[in-house]
Every structure is written in structure tokens, then in C-alpha cells.
Structure 1
């Protein structure tokens, strides 16, 4: 079971989108065999806010669509500490509502699919998926498509 803490800093995200994101992440968690109690947050922001995060954490000064902050990645010299009585904190996913709207229009698919895609993309990053090289990118994007298709959100 994954507990998801939602924050809408734009005050513009419809409850139906929040519910969809919740269901997609839970579905992906099952597909990825996530066991035990897990926790993550999803925050909806505007382009200005995500540009700030992108600049501060990734040294890229432009708005992006989704950023993830994984809590389970061990840095150099860090030791994994796991208390079985506590939920595993997977991390935070930040989605730009502005970018989601732009991209839904650009790709000519529904805003629902774009929100689901971005949340799933962020979630897979929290699980350790990456796209730093071509092979990893192929794996990650294939996994996203498989999960979205199985969930019933095919590309239109």
C-alpha cells in the first residue's frame, strides 16, 4: 500500500485528476511489486515554481514538466537504515500544471493522460528508473507505456 500526500499549490487541480494520479501510482506500485507500507508526496505547482526547483537542484534554468526527489537513493558513504515498523518514504514528485496543459495540447492527448504520464514518470524515478543513457531511457519509457496501456490510458 502506498500512502500519497497531495499538495496543490496552484489551487487549480480538479479532484478527478488527483484521484486518477492516486490510482495510476497504486496500479504502478502493484506492477512493480512494491511491498509493505510506502509513502510519497505529489505536489502540483506552476512553471515559475518548477523552474526554481529545476534551477536550484539540477542547475537547469527553465521550467520542466516533472521533478522527483528520491529518498531511497543512497549517496556515497551513506548506510541504509530501515525500521520495519515505519513506512518507507519513497520521496517527492513535483508536477508542473502549466507544463502538463501545454504538453497535453502539443501531444494532442487528454490532460488526464498527461497528468497520469507525468506522475508515473516521477514515480518510476523514485523506484530507481532513469534515462541518463539511451538504453535506460528505452527501458523506462517502455515500462511507462506498458503500465499506462494496462491501466487503460493508451495514447490517443
Structure 2
């Protein structure tokens, strides 16, 4: 198994086609390779502003829409879990990042992505790709609460986008 992308579309403002999904799969592989994550599953949902607003309010207590939300499976358990299994009686082995698991959910507001692509002067596909990589890094535990953390995260996002040719 490798990194898998499962997706669904719950909005009507922008057609989500196989070209975009193929691009997102390439981004997932590139980001995973960069971060040493070779297996796992990411669930991606495209929504409208109303739905992302509802989710943002329900889960983050922020009463406004946002562009992307991430829900890491590991986050709900506190710190990263130490996953072990018994290989022989009395012996255990730790599973690494290649262990097949659900990494989490990423929800992207397509209307926000469209508006931001216009604001930044690049394609909708590039903006969705940026938001997807941003969400993926959050699934892995990255954050941007401090200027230093934001610089690290932005650098990683841009490097992955450049790697597959999604430039501004």
C-alpha cells in the first residue's frame, strides 16, 4: 500500500475532475516523500462556505468560514500514539510511519479557494493544491502559531508545490 487519497465533493461551484484529483494525488505522494510518510489514507472533502463555517464553529468554536480544516486521527488521541504489535512471545516491534493507517480528514472550501486564487493571481488548481498540502502538514502535526513555525510550514508547502510544478 502507498499513500491513498479518498475524496468526495459536496459543493457545486467548481467542477472537481480527474485532472485535479490526479494533481492532488501527486502532491500527496510528494509531501509524503518529503516527510517520510509512505503509507496511510487521507480523506478529502470539497465543501461550500456554509458547510466549512458550520464545521469551524462546531469543532473550533470560530464563528466564520475558513479555507481549510484538518482533523488528524492522531490528534484526537493526544500525542502521536506508539503503535506496537507482538512479533514473538515477549517481543514487540514499533511500527514506523509506513504503517497503514488513516491519517485524517482535510476539508477545503471551494468558494474560498476560488476567491483566494483571484486575490493571489494564480489558478484555482494551485490554490486547492496549496490548501491540500497545508492540510496534510497539519495532519502530520505541523502548525503555524508562531512566526518560526509558520516559516517552516510555508517553506515545506512551497517546496512540495514546486516539486510537481504548481507555481504562482
Normalization by structure 2: what TM-score? 0.83
Match of 1:8? 9
Superposed CA offset, 1:54-87 (max 9, x none): 11111111110000000123327x9544566x72
Shift of 1:90: 0.5
Paired residues of 2:106 and 2:136 also in contact (CA < 8 A): yes
Q: Distance in 2 between matches of 1:33 and 1:6?
A: 22
Give the direction of change, closer, same or farther, for the CA distance of 1:79–1:72 in structure 2 (3 Å limit). Answer: closer
Aligned with 2:114 (options 92, 95, 101): 101
User: What is the Cα deviation at residue 27 of structure 1?
Assistant: 1.4
Structure 2 residue corresponding to 1:29, chosen from 17, 25, 32: 32
What pairs up with 1:1-156 in 2 under 5 angstroms?
1-11=2-12, 12-35=15-38, 37-73=39-75, 74-75=77-78, 80-81=82-83, 87-155=100-168
Q: Shift of the alpha carbon at 1:15?
A: 2.4
Structure 1, 19-28 or 105-114: larger mean CA deviation: 19-28
Structure of larger gyration radius = 2
The count of aligned residue pairs is: 153
Structure 1's unaligned 5+ residue stretches are none
User: Alpha carbon RMSD of aligned pairs, Å?
Assistant: 2.0
